[in-house]
Amino acid sequence: EKGNYRHFMAKEIAEQPDVVGHTLAHHLDMAKGRARIPEGIDFKKLDRIAFSACGTAYYAGLVARYWFEKLARIPVDIDIASEFRYREPPLKPGGLAILISQSGETADTLATLRHCKEQGMQIASVVNVTSSTIARESDAILPTLGGPEIGVASTKAFTCQLATLAALAVAAGKARGVLSDDDEQRLVASLVELPRLMAETLKLEPQIERIAKDLAKAQDALYLGRGTSFPIAMEGALKLKEISYIHAEGYAAGELKHGPIALVDEKMPVVVLAPYDTLFEKTVSNMQEVAARGGKVLLVTDPDGAKEAAGEFETLIVPKSYAFVTPMIYAIPMQLLAYHTAVFMGTDVDQPRNLAKSVTVE
Ligand code: F6R
């Protein structure tokens, strides 16, 4: 039930510190500071991993690519399930395919699973519904412990997918000898701390509600990010499209000048996700390019980034965290922004037009 919440989506956004905590407790040995290695997967033997999924779950896979390549030095292929199947990529028997799906029933993701299986690949799936077809047909199940997600727009399922994949990337890095015991402990500690930081981030809701009032007047919006913030920008744009019906696009910040900047004028809100890291300066110069054309920047950053940008832009300040866990933190303002914009516009937040919770046709 919705309890005191106006919509299931609001409830599911608020539940995230808890359900991400449960999910992490499943995939980590918190007392020992280790990530658990799923039975049957030998990361040492693999020379690449193929990820596939649809929609929001695909964005979780895009974030995971950064983690697996950096922490486990394993090349990652990732494609949208509806493309993967027909692209005819050369697949290696014995290779690992990881499918990501909240419902575990998405037709394209299931068809990809079966295709990979026919090619002799080992199948692991990150699923929320563990009784689903995708779970049943997988060799290894990596459950997200999000509980039932009722709102059509995925929120808690997404951050639980990220939490699961983060833990798995650490396990892979350790198994492949890329991460030392110390590295593993440090990364696990940053995950253990995450639910508290997510709860902290939820406190931005009143400020986000005020910003959403303006965003509700926009016709289009751009979302920009670099590194793992790039898929989170795409997820932010998807959330806004889905429930407020405002056209939005997520772009890699570095791509701005290769096209989308032509769209920028006084009417264009530009949401910029920029944790204070080595790429921050580059993203600031992208923001200045937007501001110089009259575009309205909303900067989402941490206290150090806010200090550096020195009040030049409207700013949402999320808690400081290790770079590793920023995707799960920055996802929250994206969800709240879309949610409150949709509430202002009076759309059917939990049941947006034309969308179904589980897409069982191609
Ligand atoms: C977006 C959303 C969809 C799903 C996609 C995959 O908010 O909910 O994009 O993420 O349809 O669904 P699952 O994860 O059930 O395979």
User: For 105-136, how does the pLDDT look when each residue is reduced to its tens digit (9 = 90+)?
Assistant: 999 999 999 999 999 999 999 999 999 999 99
What's the whole-model pTM score?
Answer: 0.97
Contact 123, 138 (CB under 8 A): yes
Answer positive or negative: Cα dihedral of 188, 336, 249, 157. positive
Nearest residue CA, atom 11 of ligand 1? 55
Looking at residue 40, its amino acid is G
**With a 6 A CB cut-off, is 109 part of the ligand 1 pocket?**
yes
**With a 6 A CB cut-off, is 101 part of the ligand 1 pocket?**
yes
Of the candidates 329, 303, 299, 304, the one whose C-alpha atom is nearest the C-alpha of residue 315 is 299
Which atom of ligand 1 is closest in space to residue 161's alpha carbon? 14
Of the candidates 247, 300, 314, 236, the one whose C-alpha atom is nearest the C-alpha of residue 272 is 300
Task: Give me ligand 1 centre to Cα 37, in Å.
Answer: 26
Task: Give me ligand 1 centre to Cα 262, in Å.
Answer: 31
Phi, psi of 62 (to 5 degrees): -65, -40
**With a 6 A CB cut-off, is 261 part of the ligand 1 pocket?**
no
Q: How confident is the model at residue 359 (pLDDT cuts 50, 70, 90)?
A: confident
**With a 6 A CB cut-off, is 335 part of the ligand 1 pocket?**
no
ipTM above 0.95, yes or no: yes
The pLDDT, as a whole number, for residue 311 is 79
Answer positive or negative: Cα dihedral of 274, 280, 283, 287. positive
The pLDDT, as a whole number, for residue 186 is 98
Q: What is the mean pLDDT of residues 48-66?
A: 98
Q: How confident is the model at residue 81 (pLDDT cuts 50, 70, 90)?
A: very high
**With a 6 A CB cut-off, is 234 part of the ligand 1 pocket?**
no
Which of 82, 84, 154 has the most ligand 1 atoms within 8 A of CB, as the residue to mutate?
Answer: 154
Which atom of ligand 1 is closest in space to residue 54's alpha carbon? 6
Between CA 285 and CA 184 the distance in angstroms is 34
Between CA 249 and CA 42 the distance in angstroms is 38
Angle at 18 between CA 329 and CA 52, to 5 degrees: 60
**With a 6 A CB cut-off, is 164 part of the ligand 1 pocket?**
no
Q: Give the residue numbers marked as catalytic.
A: 357
Question: 314: which strand partners?
Answer: 298
